[in-house]
Chain A
Amino acid sequence: MWKCSVVVGVVLLLASIPLASQSPTFGVGRPPTPEDFRELATAIAPDGTGLPEGSGTVAAGREVFAAQCARCHGQKAEGDIGPILVGGQGTLRTPKPLKTVGSFWPYATTLWDYINRAMPFDKPGLLKSSEVYAAAAYILNLNGIIGEADVMDAKTLPKIRMPNRDGFVSDPRPDVGPKAKKPN
C-alpha cells in the first residue's frame, strides 16, 4: 500500500509538470503557477487594467482609514509619522510646494495600486480589495475630488480626473550647457 501511494504520488507529480514548459533556447524555468502569482502585488495600469472586483464608499473608507491609516497619517490625513495626504492644490509653483495625493498625483489608479501593495506600512497586503477602494475613496473625498456619495470600483476609479493630471512633462535633458535641449 505504501509503495502504491508512492507510485501514484510520482505519477501525479510528473503529470503536474507540463512538458513544453521550459524556455526554448536554454531550457530553463517553467510556466508560472498560481502560487508564483500569489507572491506578486496586482499591478494596476492608469487605464484601470488589473483592478479587481469590489467597491468602496467614502463612509466605509472613513472607517478603514481610522482603523488602519490614521495612526501614521493622522485622523484627517494631515500627516504624522506618515506623509500628509490632503491639501496643497495651487502650491506647486510656489516656493513651498506641497505635494499630496490631491495636489500632485496624476492618476487615481496609482492610489489603489500603492495602498494595495504597500499599505499599511507595517502590514502591507492586509486590506481586502473593497477596503482598498474604500480607503482610496475617502482620501479622494478629503481632497475634494469625489463627492460623499461616490462609490469607487474598477469602472469609476480610472475615470477620475486628478487635479494635476496634466502636470507632468517629459525629460528634456541635457538641460544645461551648450547642448541643452529646449524644455517641452
Chain B
Amino acid sequence: MKNSKRPSRRQLLKMGAAAVGGGLLAQPKALAAESPGKLGIPLGPYGERSPYEKAVRWRRDTKTPETGSSFSPLQDSVGTLTPSSLHYERHHAGIPFIDPAQHRLVIHGMVDRPLSLAVADIKRLPSITRIMVLECGGNSGSEWTAITGPDVQRSYGLVSCSEWTGVSLSLLLKEVGVKPDASWVIAEGADACRMERSVPLAKALDDALIAYGQNGEALRPAQGYPLRLLLPGWEGNTNVKWLHSLKLTDQAYMARDETAKYSDLMPDGKARIFTYRMEAKSVITFPSGGQKLPGTGLYELTGLAWSGSGRIERVEITTDGGKSWVAAKLHEPRLPIAFTRFRLPWRFDGREAVIASRATDETGYVQPTREELIAVRGTNSGYHFNGMKFWKIQTDGTVRNVEV
C-alpha cells in the first residue's frame, strides 16, 4: 500500500476541497471507501504520555548514582502543577523499596502515649489536601559563585508543585500527648542513611502534614512512599521522605544535614543555622535559556513564581535588562506556597532584549537581585538562592543565560 499510486486520504480531501472551491461537488462516500479509518490502541490500566512528548528530568552526574538531584523541566511546564513523574528529586542514599503493609510511623520521646501507626491507621484519620510547592534548599545553588545555569531546568529546576493529601501532624501529636517540656521533633526517614532533621515543635503544631497522597494517587517512591513529612514553605530536605520516626525532644539534635549541610556560610566565617524558609522567587520559563524564538512577532512571556511565606501578590517583568518593569498578569487561583503562573504579551522586534521577572509575596518581600543577595551573604553560602534570573534574547531569537 505504501507504494500505491493511489492518492492518500489527505490528498483526496485536499482535492475535494479544491473541487468545492472550484464549484464542483465532492463525493465523500467514494473517498471513505478508498481509505478506511484505522482503530486506535486499546484502553490501558495505567496511562502514559504521548511518545511525542520528551520532557524529562535532568540529573547532575555524581560519583554515586544513589545520591544526587534531578531537576524538573520547568521550560516545558504548563499551568502550575508538576506531574509526579517530573517532580524534582534529591536523594542522599537512594530510593528505598518499601512495602506499605510493613511500614510504620513511630511517635515517641517526650510524649504521654508513644504510638506506632500503620499506613492504614493514618489513612483512617481526617485528611487534608493542599496544593503546595516544594523547593530544595540547594536550588539555584550554582548561581552563587557564577551565573552558570544555561537553562531554567539546570539553574532553577529543583522546585515542583503538587497536590498533597495527608493528615495534620498536630492531630497526631494530640493523640500521643506532647509533654510540656518538649520543644523539638526529630524526624527520621527509612532510607539507607536514615535521613534526620530537627523540626521546631511550633512548626509541627502549625501546618505540618504527614502525606500519603500526591496528585490524586499514592506518593511516588521517589517522593517518600508510603509516608513523608511536609513542612509548608520550608526547604525540601526538612520534608523528610519515607518517614518512620518522630521523636519529641527538648533540644535540636544538630544532625549532619542541619549543621554540616543546609547551613549558610557567611563572609565572616559564621554559618546561619536553621534557615528553613524558602523566600519569594520567580523565573521566566518562556523564552528561557536554550530556546529560540522562530521569528519576530507577538509572544507571551510566561513563568512561575512562588514563596514559602505565602501568596504571590505581584510579578513584574523587565525586557530592557532591569531599567523598567511592567506588571505581569497572574493566573488565578493564587494559592499560598504554591506555583503562580504569570504572563505578559510581548513583541519581539528582532532587537536584542534582556528579560527577567521579580516576585513580591503577601508579606511585601520582594525577590532580590543576585547582587543584593551577595552583598549580604557573600558567595559561599551555597543554599537558599532566590535571586532574579536574566535571559538575553539575541537578534536571531536564540535565548541564553546572561549576567547583568
Where the two chains meet, the residues of A that have a C-beta atom closer than 8 Å to any C-beta of B are 23-26, 28-33, 36-37, 39-41, 43-47, 49, 81, 92-93, 95, 97, 99, 101, 104-107, 109-110, 113-114, 117-118, 121, 124, 167-177, 179-180, 183
Q: Mark B186-211, 1 if CB is under 8 A from A, else 0.
A: 10101011101000000000000000
Chain A residues within an 8 Å CB radius of B314: none
* Contact pick for A26, options B175, B192, B276, CB 8 Å: B175
Interface size on B, residues (CB 8 A): 67
Given the contacts A46-B251, A118-B93, A175-B377, A97 and B196 also touching, CB distance less than 8 Å:
no
Assess whether B245 is in contact with A40, with CB atoms less than 8 Å apart.
yes
* Contact pick for B115, options A30, A44, A99, A176, CB 8 Å: A30
Given the contacts A46-B251, A169-B270, A170-B273, A177 and B259 also touching, CB distance less than 8 Å:
no
Assembled-state Cα–Cα distance A23/B274 (Å): 32
Chain A residues within an 8 Å CB radius of B260: 99, 101, 104-105, 110
Assembled-state Cα–Cα distance A171/B258 (Å): 13
Assess whether A37 is in contact with B273, with CB atoms less than 8 Å apart.
no
* Contact pick for A173, options B93, B268, B275, B379, CB 8 Å: B275
Assess whether B115 is in contact with A29, with CB atoms less than 8 Å apart.
yes
Q: Would you call B293 an interface residue if the criterion is a C-beta within 8 Å of the partner chain's C-beta atoms?
A: no
Assembled-state Cα–Cα distance A23/B108 (Å): 13
Given the contacts A30-B115, A43-B196, A124-B193, A171 and B273 also touching, CB distance less than 8 Å:
yes
Assess whether A110 is in contact with B125, with CB atoms less than 8 Å apart.
no
Q: Would you call B263 an interface residue if the criterion is a C-beta within 8 Å of the partner chain's C-beta atoms?
A: yes
A-B contact pairs, 12 of them (CB 8 A): A26-B125, A31-B116, A40-B188, A43-B247, A109-B254, A110-B254, A110-B256, A113-B256, A171-B272, A175-B376, A176-B368, A177-B366
Assess whether B277 is in contact with A118, with CB atoms less than 8 Å apart.
no
* Contact pick for B114, options A31, A46, A170, CB 8 Å: A31
Assess whether A168 is in contact with B271, with CB atoms less than 8 Å apart.
yes
Minimum CB distance partner of B190 in chain A: A39
Assess whether A23 is in contact with B372, with CB atoms less than 8 Å apart.
no
Q: Would you call B162 an interface residue if the criterion is a C-beta within 8 Å of the partner chain's C-beta atoms?
A: no
Given the contacts A41-B194, A121-B64, A170-B272, A36 and B277 also touching, CB distance less than 8 Å:
no
Assess whether A37 is in contact with B106, with CB atoms less than 8 Å apart.
yes
Q: Mark B248-269, 1 if CB is under 8 A from A, else 0.
A: 0101111110011001011111
Q: Mark B62-105, 1 if CB is under 8 A from A, else 0.
A: 01100100000000000000000000000011000000000010
Assess whether A173 is in contact with B279, with CB atoms less than 8 Å apart.
yes
Given the contacts A105-B260, A118-B93, A124-B194, A168 and B273 also touching, CB distance less than 8 Å:
yes
Assess whether B265 is in contact with A97, with CB atoms less than 8 Å apart.
yes
Assess whether A40 is in contact with B244, with CB atoms less than 8 Å apart.
yes
Q: Would you call B124 an interface residue if the criterion is a C-beta within 8 Å of the partner chain's C-beta atoms?
A: yes
Assess whether A29 is in contact with B117, with CB atoms less than 8 Å apart.
yes
Assess whether B372 is in contact with A176, with CB atoms less than 8 Å apart.
yes
* Contact pick for A174, options B117, B124, B271, B365, CB 8 Å: B365
Given the contacts A36-B106, A174-B279, A179 and B256 also touching, CB distance less than 8 Å:
no
Assess whether B244 is in contact with A168, with CB atoms less than 8 Å apart.
no
Assembled-state Cα–Cα distance A49/B93 (Å): 26
Assess whether B93 is in contact with A167, with CB atoms less than 8 Å apart.
no
Chain A residues within an 8 Å CB radius of B63: 81
Assembled-state Cα–Cα distance A167/B93 (Å): 28
**What is the minimal beta-carbon distance from A158 to any residue of chain B, in angstroms?**
11
Chain B residues within an 8 Å CB radius of A175: 376-377
Kindly name the residue among B63, B125, B364, B365 whose own CB sees the greatest number of chain A CB atoms within 10 A: B365
Given the contacts A26-B124, A176-B373, A93 and B176 also touching, CB distance less than 8 Å:
no
Assess whether B115 is in contact with A23, with CB atoms less than 8 Å apart.
yes
Chain B residues within an 8 Å CB radius of A93: 267-269
Chain B residues within an 8 Å CB radius of A36: 104, 106, 116
Q: Would you call B174 an interface residue if the criterion is a C-beta within 8 Å of the partner chain's C-beta atoms?
A: yes
Assembled-state Cα–Cα distance A65/B277 (Å): 37
Assembled-state Cα–Cα distance A26/B172 (Å): 10
Q: Would you call B380 an interface residue if the criterion is a C-beta within 8 Å of the partner chain's C-beta atoms?
A: yes
Chain B residues within an 8 Å CB radius of A118: 92-93, 192-194, 256
**What is the minimal beta-carbon distance from B4 to any residue of chain A, in angstroms?**
60
**What is the minimal beta-carbon distance from A154 to any residue of chain B, in angstroms?**
16
Assembled-state Cα–Cα distance A107/B251 (Å): 14
* Contact pick for B196, options A24, A41, A180, CB 8 Å: A41
